[in-house]
């Protein structure tokens, strides 16, 4: 089992395998996302079209019903009650006045009188399907596929008016296998006016509780049309479109794009993995070849402008003279565990380079940045203790800086930092205000000093939204009896303002840029402020 796990990790660590897996995963995700996106868009379009069709159908059907009612009312108002010339004239006039009236008839015993003599299309003797207080309705009075046969008939007294299948077909454009149904008996019975009969009720839970006009099932779209009559309801049912057939066209456009993105993602992973591996190998070689340099950013007392210490910084100068940014190789070193070796190297170098200066100036201290792995483990106390014994330097002259982001687990961090303080080291919170360390946690941490991030110093007097952060941090630090160091001071106005707010110490280009060990020693031994006109990294 262990061998299989080791083999799997080894294979997954290969750049080509990682790149291939990334490309496959991206391709699958994008393909699935494309499919779902297109499917959702088509379903939404289908629903919108059905809603629009249903509204249009209802409007036109109401026109038909309205004309039928007006026609039969007109006949009921005329005085003739026998099949004579005035009656035939009245019947023909209604057919002429109303577009959707295909046939008008008068029923008196066994001799109906029709506007279409000899071509009567309605079954005038059949009992009505709906019998209201004023009107009677006959639905689908003929099932023959003939556009000149009656599809809907309305009666009042002895008068009948009907519309034909052709009229309904003109205004109701049904899709194949679609049906226009009239619901009777409070929705329990469905009579097809157009199209084939449908299974009713269409769903197990009918009617739906949502009250929406449109109901979508796996294979049908069901649109309920509210009518002005309480005697009937209208329902339009159409089969759903073949989504797979309609998906083909947009998917053929999206799949190549997904494939290109997947290939690009795999290639990017391959480049990044190779770059990280190359950079990691070069960083290990740089430590062996002495390409890693330690510089010192002086820290000054803002009131006396006396140098009280420095922050140790790491720089990587390659053999060709180019500098690699710490923002690039420090995170890599933290991820690969090489940061421990770099921290040990910094401690070794600063004591070797500045041991004599520190012994001669007991008030000086050098702060070293600790990564999260060293904050969470007690290792660093043993390492620095051996070096301090070797170089005969006091523990209080070596301080340790930790960032809020490095305090992953507060409990072990608190214990390890307290151990360092018990040995005599100072503990500083670096870049305070940019992480997530709450005041409650800060009160419990063994901390001597807060360092305010440069972003808040730059905002002083400029950014109205952020200019109040630095004074707030200063007051909070004083309330906790902590010293304050301001980072990135670049102007005398900033230094004066911070000093008036009660900041103890500052560092930045106003005082000095990062110095090599020789320049820092000269700054300390001469006892004066030294401002370097050019970047020291160019000399280191």
- HEC profile for 431-488? EECCCCCCHHHHHHCCCCEEEECHHHHHCCCCCCCCCCHHHHHHHHHHHCCCEEEECC
**Within this chain, do residues 350 and 421 fall inside the same structural domain, yes or no?**
yes
Look up tokens 């992480």; give the residue.
435
**Within this chain, do residues 349 and 439 fall inside the same structural domain, yes or no?**
yes
**Within this chain, do residues 440 and 348 fall inside the same structural domain, yes or no?**
yes
Q: What is the pLDDT of residues 65-122, one digit of tens each?
A: 888 889 999 999 888 888 888 888 898 999 889 988 888 888 877 667 888 876 555 5
**Within this chain, do residues 228 and 311 fall inside the same structural domain, yes or no?**
no
Task: Please state, as a whole number, how many other Cβ atoms lie within 10 Å of the Cβ of residue 440.
Answer: 8
Question: For the residues of 474-535, what is the DSSP string, one character each?
Answer: HHHHHHTT-EEEE----SHHHHHHHHHHT--EE-STTT---B-HHHHHHHHHHTS----SS-
When pLDDT is averaged across residues 129-146 and rounded to a whole number, the result is: 72
Q: What is the pLDDT of residues 481-528, one digit of tens each?
A: 899 999 999 999 989 999 998 899 999 999 999 999 999 999 998 864
The model carries a pTM of 0.51
User: For residue 292, is pLDDT > 70?
Assistant: yes
What's the alpha-carbon Rg for the chain, to the nearest Å?
A: 45
What is the distance of C-alpha 351 from the center of its chain? 50
User: For residue 13, is pLDDT > 50?
Assistant: no
Q: Can you give the length of the chain in residues?
A: 540
- Which SS3 state, helix, strand or coil, does residue 208 take? coil
**Within this chain, do residues 227 and 297 fall inside the same structural domain, yes or no?**
no
In a domain, 418, yes or no: yes
Q: What is the mean pLDDT of the chain?
A: 79
User: For residue 210, is pLDDT > 60?
Assistant: yes
In a domain, 323, yes or no: yes
Evaluate whether 506 touches 306 at the Cβ level (below 8 Å).
no
The predicted structure's pLDDT at residue 240: 76
Look up tokens 């029709």; give the residue.
114
User: For residue 199, is pLDDT > 60?
Assistant: yes
How large a percentage of the chain has pLDDT more than 90?
Answer: 23
Confidence of residue 6 (pLDDT cuts 50, 70, 90): very low
- Per the structure, the complete domain to which residue 215 belongs is given by 20-244
The predicted structure's pLDDT at residue 532: 43
In a domain, 434, yes or no: yes
Smallest Cα–Cα separation from 104: which of 22, 164, 190, 36?
A: 164
Among 182, 215, 244, residue at a domain's last position: 244
**Least confidently predicted of 34-38, 311-315, 518-522:** 34-38
When pLDDT is averaged across residues 388-403 and rounded to a whole number, the result is: 94
In a domain, 2, yes or no: no
In a domain, 375, yes or no: yes
When pLDDT is averaged across residues 414-419 and rounded to a whole number, the result is: 91
Which tops the pLDDT comparison, 142 or 369?
A: 369
Q: What is the pLDDT of residues 421-472, one digit of tens each?
A: 999 999 998 877 665 555 666 777 889 999 988 888 887 766 554 567 788 8
In a domain, 252, yes or no: no
Evaluate whether 96 touches 200 at the Cβ level (below 8 Å).
no
Report the CATH number at residue 317: 3.20.20.450
**Within this chain, do residues 229 and 366 fall inside the same structural domain, yes or no?**
no
Evaluate whether 295 touches 514 at the Cβ level (below 8 Å).
yes
Evaluate whether 30 touches 256 at the Cβ level (below 8 Å).
no
**Within this chain, do residues 316 and 229 fall inside the same structural domain, yes or no?**
no
Smallest Cα–Cα separation from 244: which of 43, 33, 26?
A: 43
When pLDDT is averaged across residues 475-480 and rounded to a whole number, the result is: 86
The predicted structure's pLDDT at residue 428: 92
d(CA 399, CA 412) in angstroms, rounded, equals: 19
**Within this chain, do residues 297 and 423 fall inside the same structural domain, yes or no?**
yes
Helix (H) or strand (E) holding 183: strand 179-184
User: For residue 529, is pLDDT > 50?
Assistant: no
The predicted structure's pLDDT at residue 387: 94
The edge-to-edge listing of strands for the beta sheet with 113-114 is: 113-114, 103-106, 159-164, 150-156, 136-139, 130-131
The predicted structure's pLDDT at residue 149: 67
In a domain, 267, yes or no: no
Residues 6+ apart with CB under 8 A from 7: none
Residues 6+ apart with CB under 8 A from 347: 368, 383, 384, 387, 398
Between the CA of residue 331 and those of 133, 371, 411, what are the distances in Å? 86, 10, 24
**Within this chain, do residues 502 and 370 fall inside the same structural domain, yes or no?**
yes
d(CA 91, CA 448) in angstroms, rounded, equals: 106
In a domain, 3, yes or no: no
The predicted structure's pLDDT at residue 270: 62
Confidence of residue 244 (pLDDT cuts 50, 70, 90): low
The predicted structure's pLDDT at residue 361: 94
Q: What is the pLDDT of residues 157-194, one digit of tens each?
A: 889 898 877 777 766 667 777 777 877 777 777 877 77
The predicted structure's pLDDT at residue 380: 92
> What is the tally of structural domains in the chain?
2
Most confident of 246-250, 252-256, 297-301: 297-301
Q: Please, what sign has the CA dihedral across residues 123, 127, 129, 132?
A: positive
- Tell me the CA end-to-end span of the chain in Å, nearest whole number: 51
**Within this chain, do residues 389 and 446 fall inside the same structural domain, yes or no?**
yes
- Which SS3 state, helix, strand or coil, does residue 393 take? coil
Look up tokens 């390492």; give the residue.
383
How large a percentage of the chain has pLDDT more than 70?
Answer: 76
**Within this chain, do residues 204 and 315 fall inside the same structural domain, yes or no?**
no
**Within this chain, do residues 233 and 310 fall inside the same structural domain, yes or no?**
no
């Amino acid at each position: 089992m262990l061998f299989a796990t080791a083999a799997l990790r080894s294979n997954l660590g290969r750049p080509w395998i990682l790149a291939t897996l990334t490309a496959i995963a991206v391709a699958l995700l994008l393909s699935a996302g494309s499919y779902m996106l297109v499917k959702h868009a088509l379903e939404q379009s289908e629903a919108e079209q059905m809603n629009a069709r249903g509204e249009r159908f209802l409007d036109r059907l109401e026109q038909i019903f309205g004309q039928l009612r007006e026609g039969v009312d007109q006949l009921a108002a005329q005085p003739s009650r026998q099949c004579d010339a005035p009656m035939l004239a009245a019947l023909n006039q209604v057919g002429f006045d109303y577009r959707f009236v295909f046939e008008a008839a008068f029923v008196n015993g066994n001799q109906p009188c029709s506007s279409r003599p000899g071509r009567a299309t309605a079954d005038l003797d059949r009992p009505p399907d709906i019998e209201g207080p004023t009107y009677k309705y006959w639905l689908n009075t003929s099932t023959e596929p003939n556009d000149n046969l009656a599809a809907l008939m309305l009666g009042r007294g002895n008068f009948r008016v009907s519309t034909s299948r052709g009229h309904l077909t003109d205004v109701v454009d049904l899709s194949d296998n679609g049906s226009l149904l009239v619901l009777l008996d409070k929705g329990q019975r469905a009579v097809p006016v157009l199209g084939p009969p449908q299974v009713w009720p269409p769903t197990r839970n009918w009617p739906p509780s949502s009250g929406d006009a449109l109901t979508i099932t796996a294979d049908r779209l069901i649109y309920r049309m509210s009518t002005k009559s309480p005697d009937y309801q209208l329902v339009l049912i159409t089969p759903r479109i073949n989504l797979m057939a309609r998906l083909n066209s947009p998917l053929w456009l999206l799949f190549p794009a997904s494939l290109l993105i997947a290939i690009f993602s795999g290639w990017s992973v391959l480049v990044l993995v190779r770059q990280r591996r190359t950079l990691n190998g070069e960083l290990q070689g740089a430590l062996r070849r002495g390409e890693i340099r330690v510089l010192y950013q002086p820290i000054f007392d803002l009131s006396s402008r006396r140098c009280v210490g420095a922050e140790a910084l790491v720089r990587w100068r390659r053999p060709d003279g180019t500098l690699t940014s710490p923002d690039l190789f420090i995170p890599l070193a933290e991820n690969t565990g090489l940061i421990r070796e770099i921290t040990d190297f910094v401690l070794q170098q600063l004591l070797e380079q500045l041991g004599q200066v520190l012994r001669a100036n007991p008030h000086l201290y050098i702060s070293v940045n600790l990564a999260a792995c060293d904050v969470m483990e007690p290792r660093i106390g043993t390492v620095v203790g051996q070096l301090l014994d070797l170089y005969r330097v006091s523990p209080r002259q070596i301080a340790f800086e930790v960032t809020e982001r490095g305090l992953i687990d507060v409990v072990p961090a608190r214990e390890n930092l307290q151990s360092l303080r018990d040995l005599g080291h100072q503990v500083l919170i670096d870049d305070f205000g940019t992480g997530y360390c709450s005041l409650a946690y800060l009160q419990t941490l063994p901390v001597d000093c807060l360092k305010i991030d440069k972003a808040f110093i730059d905002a002083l007097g400029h950014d109205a939204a952020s200019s109040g952060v630095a004074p707030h941090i200063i007051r909070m630090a004083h309330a906790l009896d902590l010293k304050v160091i301001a980072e990135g001071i670049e102007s005398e106005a900033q230094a004066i303002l911070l000093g008036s707010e009660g900041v103890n110490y500052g560092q930045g280009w106003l005082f000095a840029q990062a110095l090599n060990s020789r320049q820092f020693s000269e700054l300390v031994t001469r006892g004066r402020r030294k401002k370097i006109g050019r970047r020291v990294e160019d000399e280191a």
